[in-house]
Amino acid sequence: MAVDEALLLSFDPAASLPLLRLYGWQPPALSLGRFQDAALVLDLDRCRTAGVTIVRRVTGGGVIYHADELTYSIVCTPHHLAPAPSIKESFRILTSFLLIFYKKIGLEPRFATDACHGQRLGERMAFCFAGKETYDILVKGKKIGGNAQRRLKNIIFQHGSIPLKNRAEEGGTFMRERPHDILEQTSSLAESGIGLDEELFKSLLAESFRERMGITLQEDRLTTREQAKSAELVQKYRDDGWNLRGTYQ
């Protein structure tokens, strides 16, 4: 999370190129949405007993349990998506490369807005996987992964998850109010019969992003500025004030 924020804060909307980062989580962890209160939504005693790490994202939304997943983050500007879209439209554009990815591995993904006729979308849920947003992606009617966005002046930051295995039920046990029938609402690549090859998935994700954005991607490392900023931010993401309450000094 420190690296994600460093990429966001180091991005120059006048000069920086769009950026795609792919990463994973080890060990598993819970991430809170930017405005959630850990004590209100999580069973903190159970989290401590299980030794599960709690971290806060810079994006909004509900709690996500990160285990057996690939995670992506994107940093760009509205003019990279020209014509400059609304916030909602930018979310659709930046999430649609996942539709291409899922199709490449043999699935039939759909946006929730296209698949959930007559259902209420966008209801705020403490646990991310218990609700559906307009541009969440569904496979056979079940939510696969989650995505969230943050805006600064002329900068768009978005990240999201691609679940390799369905660990939503396990994640739900750390909530104060455990979601019901979560396995009936969520899916993963393993449940869809997709063999788990992380390096192939990373390659296909990058290929899908290139296709959707009409760009050329070049593999790169963190810049000196990004490295220094992420090293500085690590202290923030180790601080209970930030992770549990959203305050840091």
Interatomic CA distance for residues 230 and 7, integer angstroms: 8
Interatomic CA distance for residues 19 and 190, integer angstroms: 28
Q: Identify the burial level of 66 via C-beta atoms within 10 angstroms of its C-beta, where 0-12 means exposed, 13-18 middle and 19 or more buried.
A: buried
CA 191 to each of CA 1, 16, 160, 210: distance values in angstroms, whole numbers, following the listed order: 28, 38, 19, 27
Q: Are 226 and 7 in contact (CB under 8 A)?
A: yes
Q: Are 229 and 9 in contact (CB under 8 A)?
A: yes
Interatomic CA distance for residues 93 and 213, integer angstroms: 9
Q: Is 23 helix (H, G, I), strand (E, B) or coil?
A: strand
Known catalytic membership, residue 76? no
Interatomic CA distance for residues 75 and 152, integer angstroms: 11
Active-site residue identified among 47, 76, 116, 128: 128
Q: Is 60 helix (H, G, I), strand (E, B) or coil?
A: coil
- Which of the residues are catalytic? 128
